[in-house]
Structure 1
Amino acid sequence: MIKKLTTLDHEQVMKFLMDEPSLNLFIIGDIEAFGYDCDFQDIWGDFAETGELRGVLLRYYHSYIPYGKDNFDLNGFVDILTRDPEFKLSGIERIIDRFEEAIEGDLGRKQVTYFCECRKAQFKGESANLSSVKKANLEDIDRILELRTKIQEFVPNPHAKEMMIKGMEIGKARTYYIDAEGEMVASASTTAENSISAMIVGVCTAPEHRKQGYASLVMEKLMADILEEGKTLCLFYDNPEAGRIYKRLGFEDIGKWTMYR
């Protein structure tokens, strides 16, 4: 049986998601940040007849993330998300593979990435001086988004500014950056920050300023600050060169993540 979840289900939901806390950080983070009763987010749960929770489906705007055990109601979740003509699907590769088989039609551009994590004991920061790295505030958001427009690999998100503002205001996201000659040349952000983890996104350097170590400095400062708070850091990568940089800082692969855009 599938039903929309409420605060009354919270304890059971969080226990269920903690089976794989890093891989579920988006769902955990959005529940902690926005709860069960807001216009841009919904959470559904699939329950067995015994009352055991078997699956969860999160809607955040038009983005949907499913998670579940082997026996969750796949077709029931497919019916929910396909009612949204703008739905975009992402999640753990082994789960999204099942949705691909069940959904007819074009899901969009597919990207499969490695999902990795780093805990404080794994961190291998090397730079002694990170004073050039600054933490962004709301007034810097337009500059951050302008830098991202220079990155060919980044997919534009029409909700990006709104989401960054909201994330900063509620402590769900932060960005660190470096300026050179008055220009923002590199940045890295978090999203889905929650009580136990954070996802690093938007790691980038302006094309004309690459190969100077800027992104590594920004990453080290971001990682040092968040790991000191006792959180686990996670990120995606599909570029082998980027993967080597992240692993040099202490990240380890724990799975694969599929995104449709």
Structure 2
Amino acid sequence: MIRELTEKDHANVMKFLLQDPSINLFIIGDIEAFGYHSPFQKLWGEFHDGDIKAVLLKYFESYIFYCKDKNHFDSEAFAAIMQSNTNPVTLSGKADLVEKFEKLPNLALGKKRVTYFAQCETKREIQITETINKATIADIDRIVVLQHSIDEFNTTVETKNMLKKAIESKTGRTYFLENNQGDIISTVSTTAENSQSAMIVGVCTHKDYRNQGLASKLMTALVNDVLDEKQYVCLFYDNPAAGKIYKNVGFMDMGLWTMYR
């Protein structure tokens, strides 16, 4: 049986999700931040003999799916929920779970992207002479200027809004370095922060300041601070060169994460 989840299910939902807290950081974070009755968020659960076996979260127009046993969930019933959304469907989750939805002929998924999912739970020593700053709302415009200058970043009008929302809701933070002129030259951020974990995003350095280890220093400082409060720090990557940097900071590959957008 699949039904919409409410606050009455919260204890059982969290017990289920916390079996795999790093993989479920987005779902956990969204529940903690926005609950079960937000106008832009809904959750459904599949129950067997009264126990939760799978969870689907809708956040605005995007879905995240999680199930403990990839061979025992009602993919067609969950697909029927997502079919009511505007096609193509935006879906993400552990690769071996969400890729089962590819076989369903009536579900139009977005463009597929597979990335590595990595996790860090150990602090590293750091030696840094530069001044590390923690961003406030007043710094957002300068952060976006840096990101807009980098080809790999797809900045939009929503970029500023997302940074602002993360700072205001305390679901994310950004650390940055400046040059002598006061321009931001390197940043790293977290998103989806919850009681258990956080996701690293927005790692970038201005092209004139690369190959100096600035991003690695920033990331190490941010990871260390997050691990003072939480159990895990996670990230996605698909660039092998970036993967080497992350592993030097202490991240280890945990599996694959698939997104359809």
| Fold-level similarity (TM above 0.5) | yes
Q: Residue 111 of structure 1 aligns with which residue?
A: 113
Question: What amino acid is aligned across from residue 4 of structure 1 in structure 2?
Answer: E
Equivalent residues in 2 for 1:41-190, closer than 5 Å: 41-48=41-48, 50-68=49-67, 69=69, 70-85=71-86, 87-102=89-104, 104=106, 107-120=109-122, 123-125=123-125, 127-129=126-128, 131-156=130-155, 159-180=158-179, 181-190=181-190
Within 1, Cα distance between the matches of 2:58 and 2:156?
16
Give the 3-state SS of the residue equivalent to 2:101 in structure 1: helix
Mean CA deviation greater in 149-158 or 11-20: 149-158
Alignment deviations for residues 43-74 of structure 1 (CA, whole Å, 9 cap, x no partner):
111112x1121110111111110111332221
Q: Residue 32 of structure 2 aligns with which residue?
A: 32
Decide whether the 8 Å contact of 1:111 with 1:258 is kept in 2: yes
RMSD: 1.8
Q: Residue 194 of structure 2 aligns with which residue?
A: 194
Question: When the two structures are superposed, what TM-score results if normalisation uses the length of structure 2?
Answer: 0.92
Structure 1 gaps of 5+ residues are none
Shift of 1:255: 0.9
Within 1, Cα distance between the matches of 2:142 and 2:100?
39
Question: When the two structures are superposed, what TM-score results if normalisation uses the length of structure 1?
Answer: 0.92
Within 1, Cα distance between the matches of 2:178 and 2:215?
11
Shift of 1:131: 4.6
Decide whether the 8 Å contact of 1:12 with 1:53 is kept in 2: yes
Decide whether the 8 Å contact of 2:83 with 2:107 is kept in 1: no
Give the 3-state SS of the residue equivalent to 2:46 in structure 1: strand
Equivalent residues in 2 for 1:205-216, closer than 5 Å: 205-216=205-216
Shift of 1:230: 3.6
Alignment deviations for residues 173-209 of structure 1 (CA, whole Å, 9 cap, x no partner):
1111111122111111111101111010111112232
Work out the percentage of aligned pairs sharing the same amino acid.
48
Structure 1 runs, 4 residues or longer, greater than 6 Å off? none
Within 1, Cα distance between the matches of 2:100 and 2:230?
34
Within 2, Cα distance between the matches of 1:231 and 1:103?
40
Question: What amino acid is aligned across from residue 225 of structure 1 in structure 2?
Answer: D
* CA pair 206-107 structure 1, distance change in 2 beyond 3 A: farther
Shift of 1:105: 6.6
Within 2, Cα distance between the matches of 1:103 and 1:257?
22
Give the 3-state SS of the residue equivalent to 2:113 in structure 1: strand
Question: What amino acid is aligned across from residue 84 of structure 1 in structure 2?
Answer: N
Task: Number of aligned residue pairs: give it.
Answer: 257
Question: What amino acid is aligned across from residue 211 of structure 2 in structure 1?
Answer: K
Alignment deviations for residues 91-119 of structure 1 (CA, whole Å, 9 cap, x no partner):
11011111122255753332211111111
Within 1, Cα distance between the matches of 2:147 and 2:200?
15
Q: Residue 248 of structure 2 aligns with which residue?
A: 248
